[in-house]
Amino acid sequence: MTDKLQKEGLPRHSVAGKVYALRKYNNVSQAVLAEFLGMKESSISQIENGEAEYNENQLKAIKKCFNIVGLPLTEKECVTFRDRLYYLRDLVRDKKMDEAKAIQKEMANIDKLKPCDFEMVMLCKMIEVQLFIAEGNYASAEDKLNILQDDFDMMSNENLFHNFYNKGALCVYQNCHKEGLDFFLKAYDLMDDNKVFIPRDDGWLHYYIAICYSYIEIPHYAISFFQKARQIHPDNRITNFILNTDHGIAINYIKMNRLKHAEKLLNKCLLTAESVSGGIHIGVTLFCFGYMHKKAKNWKTAIEYFDKALEHFKEDNVNYYSSMNHKIQCIIHDRAFAKAGKLLEQAKNRCKGHDVWEVCFEALGHYLKISSSMTSHGNGKSIEYIENIAIPHFIKMHDYLLAVDYYSLLEQHYKKLKSTMKSLTMSKAKLNIYTRCYVNLGEEIES
């Protein structure tokens, strides 16, 4: 079709070129189209030879003929339609799903444009994938992306950007952060090399890259990308986004043991969250304070913060379970074993059906058993569960610091047993994680 257009002297993205492509794809002759438009066949021929143009009324009739009413043909219409697609993307990110779905319905017949504007069709579908992901409809998102891969070689850089971005987001929401990072970095390379211009770049790519680096425990890069995201985010949605990025920066400061930096930032976060009545943000900030004091081994203070954080979280969500997990671990370290046991049973009952958290709380039960044991014996099943199930699970989920906590527990256990080789094995495993997480990446992080 492209060769024919070039032979006819029609620019592929001209209106005449698009109508020609639609006519050929739908097997409509010049005579039939002329009759539908109330024109002479010779007039259609002149337009397709580049000697004349369709007028506004004729274009309206053409859209009815090919069932593309509401879809763009002219350059001006394409600019407006493309802006609307990015507006749809913004609605999805702001969780305004009803309005987003209404716009999605307007574009239901977008496939009709495929013969004449493949790139616009592809862009529409790429942004629709983001809607599926935001709804938690990961199966549909994955199916749609798999179908779109058939046209991978034909994608523009803009659509390649969205393709990689969508694959990265899908991985993140499925807790595959290393794979997600690989896709996000491919999208970032397109932007970084100025190979693609994305309208209204709002920092989300940088934010997701930071999230991935944070999950796989490379805090230096995580902080750097959180800061980049913070700098370029637009003012109209700045409060929520800035709080999210600052929480991310604070958590990674804590991982790097830069607790004063974290505390200073979290105090600002708390003031901001309270000023906007942000219940969830207040809760996350309090959680971060708890995490900071846990890192400093201030067990009682950490427990107090986790208790306050829990007041702002609904049960049966990740924030609630994470706070409970850290709180119970702090209670164990504070040697309030009976209290830890009661809370652990409550947590186990609440998280049934959530595989990730079932493993976490089951592991915590064994952590409690070993920690509260008066002797070093009789803990064989707990040791076996932690070594063979819990730690591999934490590493698979990229929760390396939690794996370190459990390795430390086993290290102390084997020291009690005077099993030097086993103790050294646990110590070496910890060192491998620290080396992996805190290797000098050659980049200074701003205070």
Is 331 within the bounds of a domain? no
Residue type, 90: D
Residues 54 and 94 placed together within one structural domain of the fold = no
pLDDT at 241: 84
Q: What is the pLDDT of residue 202?
A: 65
Residues 49 and 83 in one domain: no
Domain limits for position 130: 74-155
Give the pLDDT confidence score for residue 88 in this predicted structure: 94
> What is the Cα–Cα distance from 415 to 405, expressed in whole angstroms?
16
The verdict on 79 and 146 lying in the same domain is: yes
Residue whose pair of structure tokens reads 């990308």 in the numeric block: 225
Same domain, 53 and 99: no
Q: Among the three residues 50, 66, 82, which one is the final residue of a domain in this structure?
A: 66
Please tell me the distance from the alpha carbon of residue 227 to that of residue 249, in angstroms, as a whole number: 8
Q: Is residue 38, in this structure, part of any structural domain at all?
A: yes
The residue among 16, 39, 66 that closes a domain is 66
Look-up of token digits 């994470």: 322
Question: In terms of domains, do 83 and 57 share one?
Answer: no
Per-residue model confidence (pLDDT) at position 1: 39
Position 151 in a domain: yes
109 located within any domain: yes
pLDDT, block means (10 residues), the chain with 447 residues: 44 83 94 93 91 92 94 94 92 90 92 94 95 93 93 90 95 90 93 61 86 90 92 66 92 92 96 84 96 95 97 87 95 95 93 88 94 74 93 84 90 89 92 70 37
Residue 362 lies in a domain: no
> What pLDDT is stored for residue 447 in this prediction?
33
Tally of helices (H runs) and strands (E runs) in the chain: 24, 0
User: Where does a domain end: 42, 66, 90?
Assistant: 66
Q: What local confidence, expressed as pLDDT, does residue 148 receive? A: 93
140 within domain boundaries: yes
**CATH number assigned to the domain comprising residue 54:** 1.10.260.40
Q: Is residue 121 part of a domain?
A: yes
Number of structural domains in the chain: 2
Do 82 and 132 fall into the same domain?
yes
Q: Residue 297 has what pLDDT? A: 94
Same domain, 83 and 150: yes
Which pTM value belongs to this model? 0.82
Regarding whether 80 and 32 lie in a shared domain, the answer is no
Q: Is 442 exposed, middle or buried (CB count within 10 Å of its CB: 0-12, 13-18, 19+)?
A: exposed
What is each CA distance from 356 to 147, 233, 290, 315, in whole angstroms?
30, 32, 22, 15
SS (H, E, C) 186-217: HHHHHHHCCCCCCCCCCCHHHHHHHHHHHHCC
In a domain, 92, yes or no: yes
Question: From residue 179, how far is each of 97, 161, 182 by CA, in Å?
Answer: 27, 16, 5
